[in-house]
Structure 1
Amino acid sequence: MRIVNWNVNSARTRVDRMVDFLIRHDVDVLAVQESKCRDDQFPYDRFTEHGYEVAHFGLSQWNGVAIISRVGLEDVQTQFPGQPGFHKDADTEQAIEARAIGAVCGGVRVWSLYVPNGREIADPHYDYKLRWLYALRNHVADVLRANPEEKLVLLGDYNIAPTDQDVWDVSAFEGRTHITEPERAAYQQLLETGLAETNPGPGVFTYWDYKGARFLKGEGMRIDFQLASPALAAVAGETFVDVEERGGKGASDHAPVIVDYAV
């Protein structure tokens, strides 16, 4: 089963690229982040006409996640247990954002995740990011404790560079999010539940900012991951990042991460 995660930075803008990508790479499951549309705006028909089922969760022109599958789409969930919400005013209801969607695809529980960015270290969004990650950790720990043989994969844009090798110049990020010790600790605690990275390792970038000609200069970050449970990681095979997709005209600022699993 070929499973892919891709922050597309607007599904409506890049639907042609998404369809071409699915066909070109013979993809079974695509986990999408930053669809940037409401459910009623998502271009479902463009995928269903090629034999895919679609589950999408979007509330506005921000965030938005989807799972596009040709191997089944069952038990869809639009948040994980314990997922926190956000509002910059702590006295206002902290509403759940469109950042997580899960479904069973061909016997594998797939989650498409768009982890909060954090914005700035002193911003309430940074604390929200950490709470979101720890709630995800707790959910995964509960699932794997109940069933150690669960085939589970958490795919998406984590907005964290786990090591200094995962940014083009760590000094350029001094005092900024994505590389701070608390963020990296939260990511590490996800791995300590038993999850394993099945995507390419440190130094294989998945994101290049549009500003400053970062892609042409090779100045990227590795912030997009597939984290698989032990039972699924054991059958992970070929894995690569489609860097050429990032280099195309009108591309997203993220590249797709592709992993094959023998399931």
Structure 2
Amino acid sequence: MSRPLRIATVNVNGVRAAYRKGMGEWLAPRGVDILALQEVRAETDDLTALLGPEWDVLHDPATAKGRAGVALASRRKAEIHRVTFGPDDFDSAGRWLEADYDVDGTIVTVVSTYVNSGEADTPKQVEKYKFLDAMAERLPKLAEHNPLSLVVGDLNVGHRTLDIKNWKGNVKRAGFLPAERAYFDRFLGAEGEEGYNAGAGFGWVDVGRRFAGEVPGPYTWWSQRGQAFDTDTGWRIDYHLATPALADTAVSYTVDRAAAYDERWSDHAPVVVDYSL
């Protein structure tokens, strides 16, 4: 293709509500080729009707109606898609969706995922660790399947202190627990480790951190309560995790943060990356 492949991910916090608040006005001019969505919380027919006929839509709804749900929408039809994830007794419905796309003769594998939010010292946290265990098992196989692979979505973990504005106040809360962050040490390498985000761990690359450098944020989620958005008291929990070969083709990284609180159509901001294949 003559221009880079543009891949965007966003937790829409309910796609029907997001469209009522302006998601379509964001998407129409943005030039996105592959769109990953989380927390769709709608039927497939609702999603396809909102996006329109120009999009090929894959949707894995959650088992419980009105919960979770992940989707991939593309300007090109997926070659193969998979939703099987984790052990047989683990319900991952609505949380992991893989697809292979033929981009002018090059196969790119994209995953839209929504990691459980969890809650410290509760069964919800046990489920979150089950999901992260399954993810740790799948990532090496995914890289083996295709050296041009990408996992995007709301991963509900801030890996480093740079990823959360008020990290000191959240060290005992789900999303920043040491045990959760240790999974990301395995995926990317640990902070300060030789080869961090450049071959350490499983070798995957956090594209956002590579582009931003050693600076706070840029955040992708802000609480709807109080002045969190206005004061940029956010969390960076929406990621593009790429295999090294794909990460090396990334030429731009943008968090599409709304200009004002009342212009938001989700509590998350889209994360948009261009890959020059």
Considering the TM-score relative to the shorter chain, is it more than 0.5?
yes
Task: Tell me if the contact between 1:133 and 1:187 (Cα under 8 Å) persists in the aligned partners.
Answer: no
Contact 1:29–1:68, Cα closer than 8 Å, also in 2: yes
Query: Residues 43 and 203 from structure 1, CA distance in 2 versus in 1: closer, same or farther, beyond 3 angstroms?
Result: closer
DSSP 3-state at the match of 2:116:
coil
Partner amino acid, structure 1, of 2:164:
V
Partner residue in 1 for 2:195:
none
1:172 to 169, 172, 187: 169
Amino acid at match of 1:227: L
Kept after mapping to 1: 8 A contact 2:147/2:245: yes
* 2:123 paired residue number: 124
Asked if the contact 2:158–2:237 (Cα under 8 Å) also holds between the matched residues in 1, the reply is yes
Q: Is the 8 A contact 2:155 2:237 kept in 1?
A: yes
Matched, 1:114 2:111: no
Q: Secondary structure at the match of 2:254?
A: strand
What is the identity, as a one-letter code, of the residue corresponding to 1:57?
A: D
What whole-Å deviation, never above 9, does each CA across 1:196-243 have from its counterpart, x for those lacking one?
A: 011254421000000112101211111110000111111111101011
Aligned partners of 1:55, 1:245: CA distance in 2, in Å?
Answer: 30
CA offsets, 1:38-89, max 9 Å, x none?
A: 334x33023233x211111113101010001113322122233x2576xxxx
Do the aligned partners of 1:83 and 1:136 also contact (CA within 8 Å) in 2?
no
Matching residue of 1:90: none
Overall identity of the aligned pairs, in %: 30
The answer for the alignment partner of 1:89 in structure 2 is: none
Alignment-derived partner of residue 159 in structure 1:
156
Tell me if structure 2 keeps the 8 A contact 1:65–1:99.
yes
Look up the equivalent residue of 1:217 and give its one-letter code.
T
Gaps spanning 5+ residues in structure 2: where?
189-200
How far 1:246 moved relative to its partner?
Answer: 7.1
The corresponding residue for 1:91 is none
Q: Distance in 1 between matches of 2:252 and 2:70?
A: 25
Gaps of 5+ in 1: 86-93
SS in 2 for 1:211: coil
Match of 2:94 among 92, 98, 103: 98
Question: Which amino acid counterpart does residue 259 of structure 1 have in structure 2?
Answer: V
TM-score by length of 2: 0.83
**Higher mean C-alpha deviation, range 212-221 or range 251-260:** 212-221
Over 3 Å counting, the alpha-carbon distance change for 1:245 and 1:253 in structure 2 is farther
CA distance in 1, matches of 2:220, 2:169: 18
Q: What amino acid does structure 1 have at the position aligned with 2:117? A: N
What is the aligned counterpart of 2:55 among 52, 57, 78?
52
Query: Matched residues in 2 for 1:12 and 1:36: separation?
Result: 8
Of 9, 15, 38, the residue aligned with 1:33 is: 38
Aligned to 1:32, the other structure's residue is in SS state strand
User: Aligned AA for 2:68?
Assistant: N
Q: Is contact 1:84–1:96 with CA below 8 Å preserved after alignment?
A: no
Which region of structure 1 is more displaced relative to structure 2, 229-238 or 195-204?
Answer: 195-204
Q: Is contact 1:199-1:258 (8 Å) kept?
A: no
Does 2:139 align with 1:140? yes
Q: Which amino acid aligns with 1:168?
A: K
2:204 to 195, 198, 216: 195
**Closer/same/farther in 2, CA of residues 44 and 190 from structure 1, 3 Å limit:** same
Structure-1 residue corresponding to 2:71: 66
- C-alpha distance 83-114 of structure 1, shift in aligned 2 (>3 A): farther
Distance in 2, matches of 1:230 and 1:84, equals 30
Distance 1:255 1:56 in 2: 21
Cα drift, residue 247 of structure 1: 3.7
Contact 1:38 1:57 in 2 (8 A): no
Q: Is the 8 A contact 1:63 1:98 kept in 2?
A: yes
Is the alpha carbon distance of 1:230 and 1:84 closer, same or farther for their aligned partners in structure 2, counting shifts above 3 Å? Answer: farther
Q: Is the 8 A contact 1:48 1:54 kept in 2?
A: no
Amino acid of the residue matched to residue 4 of structure 1? Answer: A
Q: How far apart are the structure 2 equivalents of 1:32 and 1:165?
A: 25
For the Cα contact (< 8 Å) 1:130–1:186, is it kept in 2?
no
